[in-house]
Amino acid sequence: MTDASARPIKVLIAKPGLDGHDRGAKVLARGLRDEGFEVIYTGLRQTPEMVVSAALQEDVDVVGLSILSGAHMTLLPKITAGLHERGMDDVLVTAGGIIPDDDIPQLEQAGVARVFGPGTTIREVAEYIRANVKSRGA
Amino acid sequence: MTDETLAERARDGDRRALARLLTEVENRTAAGEAALKTLYPLAGRAHLVGVTGAPGSGKSTMVAALTGEARKQGRPVAVIAIDPSSPITGGAILGDRIRMQIHATDDDVFIRSMASRGHSGGLAASTVAAAAVMDASGFGLIFIETVGTGQSEVEVAAIADTTVVVQSPEMGDEVQAIKAGLLEVADIVVVNKADRPGADRAAAQLRAMLTVGASADRAAVAAGRPRPKRPEVMLSSALTGKGVPELLAALDRRAPSPGSRLADDASLKRAEAQISGILAQRINARLHDPARAAARAETLKAVAAHEIDPFTAADRLLALLGNDSAG
Ligand SMILES: Nc1nc2c(ncn2[C@@H]2O[C@H](COP(=O)(O)OP(=O)(O)OP(=O)(O)O)[C@@H](O)[C@H]2O)c(=O)[nH]1
Ligand SMILES: [Mg+2]
């Protein structure tokens, strides 16, 4: 009765870690809005627990993590583990910011589906999400 | 998992199930409808508080502060924060949560953002359905934040049990509020940001304005015309917490008592908003049933070509809908 494909994809954009810059995250949030996504933005300095809890309450399809602080190797696996613990394995997790290539395999191992490097366009992020978001059975 | 268990799990305090169910309700799926059949009879206990006002007046910060106050008393609180969808792309930025993140890891605070998705009338129906699910899940105090511009957003705040309009002391805010008809739907007007200069004056002006209206009210009542609400004016600062306990107490005084639901105006208005929203949706679903595509297209063309007028066309289509269960 409802056209499932017409339903906007829900994305949580979160900034874990202690750095105080969220211009990039805001630009991404706005860009994804313009691509037709429903974007929840939770602001700066989010702990992994806050990110997991927001993802759960908002029942998002995607969690996009923007991280510049260098603490990605501890924070990102904590978030994916938290999502797993609360039964959210069907949530697509992506990351962007400053993440060295060498760290990517380990993050992927931990459940981050995709790490976007600097210079990735919003269009590319949007297309990746549309192609990879997990469809849900009710 | 079956829908029944999703509803049962939500009712029993499973937050993940509650979140899932809210998605079903928001997307108006069959699963969501089925769950409401179980949960609706359990709802009707919570106090629904609509919070509206000009952009940036401090609605989200105020909701967070009120939530903090209610949590001191151990009461579970739910929030529905609505932001507009872009009419062009259908996308939305839901940013109210930023101001409420201090409660993010408190399991007895449940915050849900919703995009308005441009369904006229339907927004009220979806919101009230979402609130009913939260209510049945044990949340006794539910805030519904909407921005006070735009008819359907104001309507949503207005169909709550109690409607709070948040104003900042800046000049021009009250003009905006009058234009948007906000003062007419308010039970309480809060002049927020009372930590800033001008707040006392703004509150005094509002009070004066609302008393001037009192004599007009008596005339209206004498003439049998409807009388606008005369809201209580309060001062607060969501930032420092000044006036917040008083505001929560004022809200609690207005909480519907068990049993008052039968007669009270807000509950009846809400019932009507829900049903008419759903009716419109049902009619549309039937209209778009593939079995009627040809007739529909033909009628649209006839109106576009000015062969028949749109009223005749609508009547024709309505007659065609019949009483089947398509859609
Ligand atoms: N000084 C002062 N600033 C406040 C107060 N309440 C909110 N603010 C600030 O006002 C700005 C907007 O606050 P929000 O709570 O996001 O306002 P809102 O009405 O929810 O905004 P929208 O949802 O965007 O319409 C923020 O920068 C807040 O920190 C207050 O009582 N005093
Ligand atoms: Mg807000």
Q: Residue B275 falls within a domain, yes or no?
A: no
Do B232 and B85 fall into the same domain?
Answer: yes
Both B113 and B252 in one domain: the answer is yes
Neighbours of B102 (CB within 10 A): 13
Q: Which of B51, B61, B242, B247 to mutate to test the pocket of ligand 1 (most atoms within 8 A of CB)?
A: B61
Asked if B63 and B152 sit in the same domain, the reply is: yes
Residues B252 and B186 in one domain: yes
What domains are there in chain A, each with its CATH number? 7-132 (3.40.50.280)
Q: How far apart are the first and last CA of chain A?
A: 14
Q: Do residues B155 and B103 share a domain?
A: yes
Cα distance between residue B122 and residue B277, in whole Å: 5
How do residues B129-163 score in pLDDT, each as one tens digit? 999 999 999 999 999 999 888 777 888 888 899 99
Same domain, B61 and B33: no
Q: Is B193 in the pocket of ligand 1 (CB under 6 A)?
A: yes
Q: Which residue, chain included where needed, has tokens 């007669």?
A: B263
Q: Does residue B282 sit within a domain?
A: no
Q: What is the pLDDT along chain A (138 residues), one digit of tens a residue?
A: 344 446 899 999 999 988 778 888 899 999 999 999 999 999 888 999 999 999 999 999 999 999 887 888 899 999 999 999 999 999 999 999 888 899 999 999 999 999 998 889 999 999 999 999 987 643
Run of H or E including A116: strand A114-116
Question: CA B173, CA B168: separation in Å to the nearest integer?
Answer: 7
ipTM above 0.90, yes or no: yes
Look-up of token digits 């697509």: A92
Cα(B82) to centroid(ligand 2), Å:
8
Q: Tell how many helices (H) and how many strands (E) occur in chain A.
A: 5, 5
Residues B109 and B139 in one domain: yes
Measured CA to CA, the distance from residue B119 to residue B54 in angstroms comes to: 21
Q: Judge whether B138 and B43 are in contact, CB under 8 Å.
A: no
Decide: B55 in ligand 1 pocket, CB within 6 A. Answer: yes
Looking at this protein, which amino acid is placed at residue A42? T
Contacts of B288 (CB under 8 A, 6+ apart): B296, B327
Rounded to the nearest whole angstrom, what is the distance from the C-alpha of residue B145 to the centroid of ligand 2? Answer: 7
**Cβ pair B110:A58 closer than 8 A:** no
Residues of B in contact with A138 (CB under 8 A): 3, 24, 29, 31
Residue B52 Cβ contacting ligand 1 at under 6 Å: no
pLDDT at A125: 96
**B202 belongs to a structural domain:** yes
Same domain, B35 and B53: no
pLDDT score recorded for residue B145: 96
Give residue B92's pLDDT band: very low, low, confident or very high (50, 70, 90).
Answer: very high
Q: Are the C-beta atoms of residues B259 and B216 closer than 8 Å to each other? A: no
Cβ-defined contact of A34 to B90 (cutoff 8 Å): no
Based on the fold, state whether residues B156 and B200 are members of the same structural domain.
yes
CB within 8 A of B227, min separation 6: which ones?
Answer: B217, B220, B221
- Chain B CB contacts of A32 below 8 Å: 91
Residue B276 inside a domain? The answer is no
Residue B210 lies inside a defined structural domain of this protein:
yes
3-state secondary structure of B19: helix
Are B8 and B86 in the same domain? no
User: What Å distances lie between residue B94 and A12, B24, B147, CA to CA?
Assistant: 9, 19, 12
In a domain, B273, yes or no: no
Does B85 map to a domain?
yes
Looking at the structure, tell me whether residues B35 and B150 fall in a common domain.
no
Is the pLDDT confidence value at B45 over 60?
yes
Q: Which range in A19-28, B35-44, B255-264 is most confidently predicted, on average pLDDT?
A: B35-44
Determine the Cα–Cα distance for residues B210 and B192; give it in Å rounded to an integer.
18
Of A138, A70, A132, the closest CA to residue A99 belongs to A70
Q: How many residues does chain A have?
A: 138
Q: What are phi and psi of A97, to 5 degrees?
A: 125, -135
Phi, psi of B169 (to 5 degrees): -70, -5
Count up the domains in chain B and report the number.
3
- Of A92, A89, A12, A106, the C-alpha closest to A51 is A12
The parent domain of residue B140 ranges over 45-263
Contacts of A86 in chain B (CB under 8 A): 16
- Same domain? For B86 and B146 the reply is yes
**Residue B150 within any structural domain of the chain:** yes
Q: How far apart are CA B179 and CA B27, in angstroms?
A: 32
Q: Is B243 in the pocket of ligand 1 (CB under 6 A)?
A: no
For residue A62, the CA-to-ligand 2 centroid distance in Å is 22
CATH number at residue B220: 3.40.50.300
* Position B209 confidence tier, pLDDT thresholds 50, 70, 90: confident
Inspect the interface and report whether the beta carbons of B91 and A8 lie closer than 8 Å. yes
